[in-house]
């Protein structure tokens, strides 16, 4: 690099506008903030759906107990495709899948205000 090239480089660096650079950096950060916001919202939605599933499973269990108290036998319900703990069987498969991924690093979650 010659002295004249070094001088041009220094002159170019001196003309960089601080406010323009800050604005460009903010735009980059805003994009990153948007993506993490979307991630947090998606995780909250998943949590809400899990809560709904848990409530539905409780209702399923109550309805099954009511059916057996109303005279339906477990065999009769099974023949109708209504086995005891039908929801629990799905859950156990999901838990088996989750335990297979236990070797993966745990996901970080952010605390958010509801």
Q: What is the pLDDT of residues 47-65, one digit of tens each?
A: 999 999 999 999 999 999 9
Please tell me the total count of domains within the chain.
1
Q: What is the pTM of this model?
A: 0.53
pLDDT in tens, 62-112: 999 999 999 999 999 999 999 988 654 555 555 555 555 554 445 554 544
In a domain, 9, yes or no: no
In a domain, 40, yes or no: yes
Helices (H), ranges, the chain: 3-14, 18-69, 74-79, 86-100
Closest CA to 57 of 36, 87, 82: 87
Q: Which residues does 44 contact at the CB level (< 8 Å), separation at least 6?
A: 112
In a domain, 30, yes or no: yes
């Amino acid at each position: 690099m010659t002295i004249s090239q070094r001088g041009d480089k220094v002159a170019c660096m001196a003309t960089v506008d601080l406010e323009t650079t800050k604005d460009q950096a903010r735009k980059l950060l805003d994009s990153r903030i948007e993506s993490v916001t979307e991630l947090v919202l998606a995780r909250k939605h998943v949590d809400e759906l899990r809560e709904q599933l848990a409530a539905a499973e409780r209702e399923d269990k109550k309805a099954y107990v009511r059916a057996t108290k109303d005279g339906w036998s477990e065999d009769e319900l099974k023949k109708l495709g209504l086995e005891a703990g039908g929801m629990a069987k799905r859950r156990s498969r999901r838990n088996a899948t989750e335990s297979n991924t236990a070797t993966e690093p745990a996901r970080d979650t952010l605390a958010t205000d509801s």
